[in-house]
A and B are shown apart, each in its own frame.
Chain A
Amino acid sequence: MITYVIRRLLAAVVLLFVISAATFAIFYLIPRLAGSSPETLATRYVGRAATPETVNLIAHRLGFYDPVWLQYGRWIKGVLVGAEYDYGAGVEHCPAPCFGYSFITRQPVWPDLLERLPVTLSLALGAAVLWLFFGLTTGVISALRRGSMLDRAAMGVSLAGVSLPIFFTGMIALTIFSYRLQWTAPGGTYTPFTENPAAWFYALLLPWLVLALQFSAQYARLTRAGMLETMGEDYIRTARAKGLRERDVTVKHGLRAALTPILTIFGLDFGLLLGGAVITESVFSLPGLGKYAVDAITTNDLPKVLGVTLMAAFFVVVANLVVDLLYAVVDPRVRLG
């Protein structure tokens, strides 16, 4: 079990390095292959008005003339131990983890990311609680009453939920609940939990529901399929033959086994969401990582894009790691196999 954990941890670290190299290559190498020069990058820092000499100097100081692998090494070093930057206005120390400075605002990227993370985390956590609750209960009930009106209705609604994109359901929900009925907060009113929990809840309620609708639908279908399969297993018949109450047969024996694959998918979904629920955050103007990524991309702010991408990748890798470890806890065949 210990070796399993260590093996997984090492694999996760290696994977993060590979992802960072790949992302770095995509953002720094490919533009160069496409014809952009070190000066183009430097121009982003100093502005178009600067003389060619200044641009050249900055490009030198930031090491844009060095080979890409060296630049990558420097960047990784910055992430791990911090780095010194010189934009011409004197040397600035950027403490680890240093993802560099924004082209536009000249602010370091990392504090920005840290500031955005709680928003995304709040959104993802709240939505996850809702979708797990609604998805699993609907799925189990549908499976147990297969073919009933309830099952058909639930599966019909969930088909709609899976198919409707969030930018559609989000807009509709905003129009109806926030602007017409004024039950929920309009977009762009996010308040941190630490400042005012009630306002935090009020601002996030509609985004939670909209995000959870799509995932609940998906999880309801997954749970239903999983339950239908496990409830037909031989060990369910054994559980009944032992005289267990039907509730225990369903929950302790059926759902327990059906949950394992759902755990995997939940880990992936949740990890992915932590990297930023791009569409939801955009629709509801939530200042989270997803919104940050969109803004960074539209303004071509490479250090920000790189930082947020790596952060998202980090969450996906960690979520996968956690799922792998949980699998060992849940399934004795993995632990002892």
Chain B
Amino acid sequence: MTQSVTQPFLEVKDLKVHFNTDDGVVRSVDGLTFGLERGRTLGIVGESGSGKSVTSLGIMGIYNKRNADVTGEIWLDGQELVNASPESVRKLRGNKLAMIFQDPLSAMHPYYSVGKQIIEAYQVHHNVSNQVARKHAVDMLGRVGIPQPERRVDDYPHQFSGGMRQRAMIAMALVNDPQLLIADEPTTALDVTVQAQILDLMHTLQEEFNSALIVITHDLGVVAELADDVLVMYGGRCVEFGSATTIFDRPEHPYTWGLLGSMPRMDRPNLERLVPIPGLPPSLINLPTGCHFHPRCAYEPRTGGLGSTVTPELTRAGGTNHLVRCHLPTEERQRIWAQEVKPKLEAS
């Protein structure tokens, strides 16, 4: 093991996930680097098609090996995953690293009872009898707040309400005590009232299990609720990384400003209209030259032509441990945020 002692629990280095399709190579994730410690939560945000979900599937190792081209390194607790044998990654999957999906109704098998699906998840990684596994499943269902778990364990997914289903999904993901939990849009398919409960539950369970948590979402509200650090993705790359406070209080990337501007805020008065980001997310086959965001960026003219020709690097920015991929100098960005963007957001 050549890794230094300071290596974080999860370290992703220059992760690339490319898909070979008939139309060309889709660069879903194009050089992503980040780290995460146990007990901490990373929020990955971005629009649809920014590569968020593919990142999670890449870490989990769930991709079609025949058309996906995955390179880079993923270190989990000192073990490399990208170049490891599929069988060894399979043994970790659902065990050391687990995942929660967006729509719990379609993510659970309609023909098997909830209990059976949790039992199955447990027995893949533990050689125990059905009774022991079942007891464990009932126990987990109780822990995620399902009332009368001994009775509900034999129910089928369609007999659960949406919130209950997501709780069951979480129980299934946590049944093997994973050290890394990836939640891909965990609350998107749920009612607003249920969303808050699920977020609370995830927060409580994370503290209880001391696991590392990655929350993938387009909902900045979820990020504000859960995340310690935030990674903003655009066109398969990280455009801004920083602590949650930094991202919400002193964001420096124009795309992050746009995301913040398009987020409904209930705590601010005089809410009249949201400010959408102009244009559409880029095609991951033909990414714009230079800065991927430049065609939609209002500040691109201030880069003196750099924006459309040169791809900016991820560089240190104003906050602590704060990285931004932008041509504008830090001072300029901080000035624009403080003088131009922030007042507008607060006024609207």
Contacts and interface: CB of A to CB of B under 8 A. Distances in A.
Interface in A89-135: none
B156 A243 contact: no
A264 to B, nearest CB: 15
B110 A241 contact: no
Given A241-B94, A242-B172, A332-B113, A337 B158 contact: yes
A245 interface: yes
Interface string B111-136: 10100000011001100000000000
B77 to A, nearest CB: 16
A331 B93 contact: no
A256 B111 contact: yes
B125 A243 contact: yes
Interface in B63-114: 90-95, 98-99, 101, 103, 106-111, 113
A74 B343 CA distance: 93
A234 B53 CA distance: 13
A336 to B, nearest CB: 6
B109 A257 contact: yes
Contacts of A77: none
Given A332-B156, A332-B158, A333-B158, A243 B95 contact: yes
A237 interface: yes
Contacts of A243: 90-95, 121, 124-125
A242 to B, nearest CB: 4
B158 A234 contact: no
Contacts of B121: 242-243
Contacts of A237: 57, 62, 101, 107
A253 interface: yes
Interface string B181-220: 0000000000000000000000000000000000000000
Contacts of B60: 240-241
A332 B109 CA distance: 11
A238 B171 CA distance: 13
Given A237-B62, A333-B156, A257 B110 contact: yes
Nearest to A246: B90
A244 B103 contact: no
A121 B295 CA distance: 71
Given A241-B99, A242-B172, A331 B110 contact: yes
A19 interface: no
Q: Chain A CB within 10 Å — which of B60, B99, B110, B169 has the most?
A: B110
A235 B113 contact: no
A25 interface: no
B303 interface: no
B309 interface: no
B159 A336 contact: yes
B137 to A, nearest CB: 13
Interface string A230-261: 00011101111111110000000100110000
B277 to A, nearest CB: 28
A141 interface: no
A259 B92 CA distance: 30
Contacts of B172: 238, 242
B329 to A, nearest CB: 43
A51 to B, nearest CB: 70
Contacts of B107: 234-235, 237-238
Contacts of A205: none
Nearest to B158: A333
B57, B94, B101, B109: which has the most chain A beta carbons within 10 Å? B109
Contacts of A331: 110-111
A12 interface: no
Contacts of A154: none
A9 B168 CA distance: 37
A330 interface: yes
Interface in A296-337: 330-333, 336-337
Given A242-B172, A333-B158, A337-B158, A235 B124 contact: no
A237 B109 CA distance: 10
A66 to B, nearest CB: 54
Contacts of B90: 243, 245
Contacts of A233: 106
Contact of B110 (A235, A239, A242): A235
B209 to A, nearest CB: 17
A228 to B, nearest CB: 13
Nearest to B91: A243
Most buried by B among A233, A234, A242: A242
Given A242-B94, A242-B120, A243-B124, A234 B113 contact: no
Given A333-B156, A333-B158, A238 B101 contact: yes
Contacts of B109: 235, 238-239, 253, 256-257
Contact of B93 (A240, A257, A336): A240
Given A234-B101, A257-B111, A332-B156, A241 B106 contact: no
Contacts of A333: 110, 156, 158
Contacts of B98: 241-242
A332 B160 CA distance: 13
Contacts of B99: 241
Given A243-B91, A333-B158, A238 B125 contact: no
Contacts of B95: 243
Nearest to B124: A243
* Chain A CB within 10 A, most for which of B92, B98, B103, B107: B107
Nearest to B118: A242
A256 B120 CA distance: 15
B64 to A, nearest CB: 10
Given A242-B93, A331-B111, A235 B62 contact: no
Contacts of B120: 242, 244
A230 to B, nearest CB: 10
Interface in B231-273: none
Given A242-B124, A244-B120, 7 more contacts: A233-B106, A237-B107, A241-B101, A243-B95, A257-B110, A333-B110, A333-B158
20 contacts: A233-B106, A234-B103, A234-B107, A235-B108, A237-B57, A237-B62, A237-B101, A238-B107, A238-B169, A241-B62, A242-B120, A243-B93, A243-B125, A244-B94, A244-B124, A245-B124, A257-B110, A332-B111, A332-B156, A337-B158
